Amino acid sequence: MSLLEYFGLRESPFSITIDSRFFYNTQQHTDALVRLKYAVENMKGLAVVVGEIGAGKTTLATRLLEELESEAYEAALLIVIHAAVTSEWMLRKIALQMGIENPAEAKTELLTQLSRRLVEVHESGKKAVVLIDEAQMLRSQELMEDFRGLLNIEVDGHKAVTFVLFGLSDLDQVLSLDPPLHQRVAIRCRLTELDVSGTQAYITHRLEIAGCYKPLFSPESFEAICRFTRGTPRLINALCDNALLEAYLRKRDQICAELIAEVARDLNLPHKREE
């Protein structure tokens, strides 16, 4: 009997793969999504989401992209994978996502192409939106100045594009490389850690999506999970996934706080001291 069969699951509830079906609307994520949709619907120009590693920024970005209907938006999600990104590389990526088939090599011409395309998008009745994840790695004053230049483009009194940047807390330092750009942040959201009740609701939600409605975790285990993960969704997934495996190997029907503590030590998760 497999682990999924043993616990009555259709699929793994704590996979680290981004899957919007498992998106859990905590109050802060719900509020952030509403704020971001307000920003793009009203073409506010620049919105920022910051949070620590594993707080759910990428999941939120993916959910936002899915909710931007193609009939109304020309939207793209770009993920920065290293800090050596040049201004030209990023602008070409944006150009390709915006439907420019042959982006120019020369930066001046590339910016002209983007400007024309943004006007075309507006005239077609759509709104241009560019989401950028891991934006804290864009440590380039030149690139920040380019973003500001694109935000200067207006059509009929409205911004031609809205940028939504997702990143770690030091994203503010990156934006400060170009103070005028930093001042243009219209919407700012911060994702914080979950408390014990939020952790319990998050875990229960993922289990239900995976097809399990029985209490696999004891009431006391949720406090232990929150304590060891500091309420960080990515760490919650890792800890719970390993706890399920350990419970399966030991043929236990429910995961207790003691097992959580044991698995957390194996994962080298530090114990959060009580205040």
Q: Which domains does the chain have, with CATH numbers?
A: 3-9+194-266 (1.10.8.60), 27-191 (3.40.50.300)
Strands (E) located in the chain: 46-51, 73-79, 127-133, 154-155, 158-159, 161-167, 187-191
Q: Is the confidence at residue 237, as pLDDT, over 70?
A: yes
Between 46-50, 52-56, 71-75, 198-202, the lowest mean confidence (pLDDT) is in 52-56
**CB environment 139-172: b (16+ within 10 A), e (fewer):** ebeebbebbbebbebebeeebbbbbbbbbbeebe
- As a whole number, the mean pLDDT across the chain is 92
For 120, 186, 228, the CA distances from 7, given in Å and listed in that order, are: 53, 46, 24
Q: Which tokens sit at 69?
A: 């209907």
**What predicted TM-score, i.e. pTM, was given to this entire model?**
0.82
- Residue written as tokens 């809205």? 162
- State how far the alpha carbon of 73 is from the alpha carbons of 40, 128, 149, 155, 220, in Å: 9, 6, 21, 16, 46
Condensed to tens digits (0 to 9), the pLDDT of residues 201-218 reads: 999 999 999 999 889 999
For CA atoms 267, 269, 271, 275, the dihedral sign is: negative
pLDDT band at 240 (very low <50, low <70, confident <90, very high): very high
Distance (Å, whole) CA 264 – CA 139: 35
Burial of 176 (0-12, 13-18, 19+ CB in 10 A): middle
Compute the distance between CA of residue 102 and CA of residue 121 in angstroms, rounded to an integer: 17
How many residues are there in the chain? 275
Average pLDDT over residues 123-140: 94
pLDDT higher than 90, residue 83: no
